[in-house]
C-alpha cells in the first residue's frame, strides 16, 4: 500500500503501474553512498517508456486503441532498472518467464544454441493456469543459465572498479511456466506424491474469493505439477550454486553479504485444490525462504523471528552502513538476528494482499506467536493456531473460547496498520468498533 503497487501492474486494484524514480529507492540510496549497482532478471515494476517493446506493453496499447484509459497516464513514462541507477538488463513487465525476451534469444544465437522442448502441457481454467515443457537441448539453453551468465558478467565488471557493489539477481522461476531440463525432470518422472492433508478440504467451504484460486482439478494435475516444480527447484539450486561458486573464485564471497529469498510461495493443491497464489493467506504462499549470510559467518542456524520481505530493504541498507529514515521504513534490518542470536524479535508481523488478477479481494494477515489472524474485507475472518493446527484446517474465528485472543489480535493488527500508514486502517477500525470507534454503542 505504500508503493501503490497493490497487485500486478495494469490490473484492477493497482494504484501505481510504473515505478517512480525517487531518491529513497534502494538503488538510489546505494548509489548516493558510492555503491555501483547491478541488476538482471525479472523486473515486474513497470513496462518502461516504450510500451511497444514488450508483449505486455503491446497488449496494453491494444486495449487503449479500443478506448480503454488504463495506460494513458503512463504513455511515454516508465522506469526499468537502468533508468533508476542499475547497470545491467532491462526486462519490461512480468516477462512470462523470460523465454521470449530479445536478450535471451540473442544469447542463444551468439552461442549457437537452439532451444528444444518436448512434452509440452498447459491448463487454463477460471483464470489460473500451469504451463511447461521438458527442455531437451541442455541446461545451457535455459533462462536460468542465461541469467547466471549475465550476473557473472555484471559482477565481474562491477568488482573490477574501486567502488563497493550491490548485485540483484532475480529469477522468474520456480514460478510456472515449468520449463525444466530433462536431466533434472527424469529424477521425478512418475514419482508418487500423496495429496496434502488439506487437499481434501471442501472446495467451497472458505470465503467466495478463494474460488478464484481453484482450477477444480483432481490430484493427478497437481501431482504432475509438483514433479516439474520440484525438478525446477533442484535445477535452480544448481544454477544459484554456480553463481556462488563464481563469487568464491573471485574472492568476493567471504567478505560479502548474500541474501536469498522469494516473493511468494505456491499453493500446489492446498486447501481443496488451490493453485498459484493470491486470494488466500495460507502458509503455503506466505511462508517463504529467507537466508542471510554475513561476512565472517560460519555454519548456519535457524532463526524463529518473524520477518518479511519488507525487511529486505532495511537489511541491505544496514549492511551498507546506511540509516533507514523512519518515514521510509516499512521493515526492520534482519542483521541483528544474524549477529546476535539473543536479539528480541518483533511481537507480530503484517502481510497485505489485494489479489493478482482483475478481481480485487483486499486482505490483511497478522501473525503473532502461533496465532494467525486473517481479515477478509469481503469475506469471513479467519483465525488459526499453527501450533495445534499447522495445516490450517480449523478456523477458530467463531470459537467463543478464542474471543479474547481474536479481539487482541484485531487490536494489534490495527496498531500495525496505523504504524505503516495502511489506508484500510480506519475502515478496519470502523468494522470492529476499535480505536476512534471504540465508544460507539
DSSP state of 369: T
304: left (phi over 0), alpha (psi -120 to 50) or beta: alpha
d(CA 92, CA 47): 5
Q: What pLDDT score was predicted for residue 298?
A: 67
DSSP state of 10: T
DSSP state of 145: H
- Cα–Cα distances in angstroms (integers) from residue 440 to residues 16, 430, 434, in the given order: 36, 9, 9
Q: What pLDDT score was predicted for residue 215?
A: 64
Question: Within 13 A of 373's CA, how many CA atoms are on the CB side?
Answer: 24
Q: What would the grid cell of residue 262 be?
A: 522469494
Residues in the chain: 441
In terms of Cα–Cα distance, which of 105, 107, 136 is closest to 120?
Answer: 136
d(CA 145, CA 355): 31
Q: What would the grid cell of residue 145 be?
A: 543459465
In terms of Cα–Cα distance, which of 368, 426, 318, 384 is closest to 33?
Answer: 318
Q: State the burial class of residue 128 (Cβ atoms within 10 Å of its Cβ: 0-12, 13-18, 19+).
A: buried
Q: What pLDDT score was predicted for residue 127?
A: 45
CB contact set of 344 (below 8 Å; sequence gap of 6+) = none
Contact 118, 136 (CB under 8 A): yes
d(CA 156, CA 169): 14
Tell me if the bond preceding 177 is cis, omega within 30° of 0: yes
**Model pLDDT for residues 357-397, shown as the tens digit of each residue:** 888 889 999 999 999 999 998 888 999 999 999 999 999 99
Q: What would the grid cell of residue 337 be?
A: 538476528
Q: What would the grid cell of residue 420 be?
A: 505503516
Q: How far apart are the first and last CA of the chain?
A: 31
Question: Within 13 A of 76's CA, how many CA atoms are on the CB side?
Answer: 1
Q: What pLDDT score was predicted for residue 203?
A: 62
Other beta carbons within 10 angstroms of residue 122's beta carbon come to 11
Residue 221 C-alpha from the chain's centroid:
24
In terms of Cα–Cα distance, which of 378, 340, 73 is closest to 209?
Answer: 378
d(CA 284, CA 252): 34
Task: Walk along the chain (441 residues) in steps of 10 and give the mean pLDDT of each run.
Answer: 90 92 95 97 96 92 92 94 97 91 97 94 57 94 98 97 97 93 97 94 64 74 93 98 97 95 93 86 94 85 92 94 78 91 92 87 95 92 96 95 98 94 94 92 77
Q: What pLDDT score was predicted for residue 129?
A: 58
Residue recorded with cell 502441457: 121
Q: What angle do CA 229, 128, 124 make, to 5 degrees?
A: 95
Amino acid at each position: 500500500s505504500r508503493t501503490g503497487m497493490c497487485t500486478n501492474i495494469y490490473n484492477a486494484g493497482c494504484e501505481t503501474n510504473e515505478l517512480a524514480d525517487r531518491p529513497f529507492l534502494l538503488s538510489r540510496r546505494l548509489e548516493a553512498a558510492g555503491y555501483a549497482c547491478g541488476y538482471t532478471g525479472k523486473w515486474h515494476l513497470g513496462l518502461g517508456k516504450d510500451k511497444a517493446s514488450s508483449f505486455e506493453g503491446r497488449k496494453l496499447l491494444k486495449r487503449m486503441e479500443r478506448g480503454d484509459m488504463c495506460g494513458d497516464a503512463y504513455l511515454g513514462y516508465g522506469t526499468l532498472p537502468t533508468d533508476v541507477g542499475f547497470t545491467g538488463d532491462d526486462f519490461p513487465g512480468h516477462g512470462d518467464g523470460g523465454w521470449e525476451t530479445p536478450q535471451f534469444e540473442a544469447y542463444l544465437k551468439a552461442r549457437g544454441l537452439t532451444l528444444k522442448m518436448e512434452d509440452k502441457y498447459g491448463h487454463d481454467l477460471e483464470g489460473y493456469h500451469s504451463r511447461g515443457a521438458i527442455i531437451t537441448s541442455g541446461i545451457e539453453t535455459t533462462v536460468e543459465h542465461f541469467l547466471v551468465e549475465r550476473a557473472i558478467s555484471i559482477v565481474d565488471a562491477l568488482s573490477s572498479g574501486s567502488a563497493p557493489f550491490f548485485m540483484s539477481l532475480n529469477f522468474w522461476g520456480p514460478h510456472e511456466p515449468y520449463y525444466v531440463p530433462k536431466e533434472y525432470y527424469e529424477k521425478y518422472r512418475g514419482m508418487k506424491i500423496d495429496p496434502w492433508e488439506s487437499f481434501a478440504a471442501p472446495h467451497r467451504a472458505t470465503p467466495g474469493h478463494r474460488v478464484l484460486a481453484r482450477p477444480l482439478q483432481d490430484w493427478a494435475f497437481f501431482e504432475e505439477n509438483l514433479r516439474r516444480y520440484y525438478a525446477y527447484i533442484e535445477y535452480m539450486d544448481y544454477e544459484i550454486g554456480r553463481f556462488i561458486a563464481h563469487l568464491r573464485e573471485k574472492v568476493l564471497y567471504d567478505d560479502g553479504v548474500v541474501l536469498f529469498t522469494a516473493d511468494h510461495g505456491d499453493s500446489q493443491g492446498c486447501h481443496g485444490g488451490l493453485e498459484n497464489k493470491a486470494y488466500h493467506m495460507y502458509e503455503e504462499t506466505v511462508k517463504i525462504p529467507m537466508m542471510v549470510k554475513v561476512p565472517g559467518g560460519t555454519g548456519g542456524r535457524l532463526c524463529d523471528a518473524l520477518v518479511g520481505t519488507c525487511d529486505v530493504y532495511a537489511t541491505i541498507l544496514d549492511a551498507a552502513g546506511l540509516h533507514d529514515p523512519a518515514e521510509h521504513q516499512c521493515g526492520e534490518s534482519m542483521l541483528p538476528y544474524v549477529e546476535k542470536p539473543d536479539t528480541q524479535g518483533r511481537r507480530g508481523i503484517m502481510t497485505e494482499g489485494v489479489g493478482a488478477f482483475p478481481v480485487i479481494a483486499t486482505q490483511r494477515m497478522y501473525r503473532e506467536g502461533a496465532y494467525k489472524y486473517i481479515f477478509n474485507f469481503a469475506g469471513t475472518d479467519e483465525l488459526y493456531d499453527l501450533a495445534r493446527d499447522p495445516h490450517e484446517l480449523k478456523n477458530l474465528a467463531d470459537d467463543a473460547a478464542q474471543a479474547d485472543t481474536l479481539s487482541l489480535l484485531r487490536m494489534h493488527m490495527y496498531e500495525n496498520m496505523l504504524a505503516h500508514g495502511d489506508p484500510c486502517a480506519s475502515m478496519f477500525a470502523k468494522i470492529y468498533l476499535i480505536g476512534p470507534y471504540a465508544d460507539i454503542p
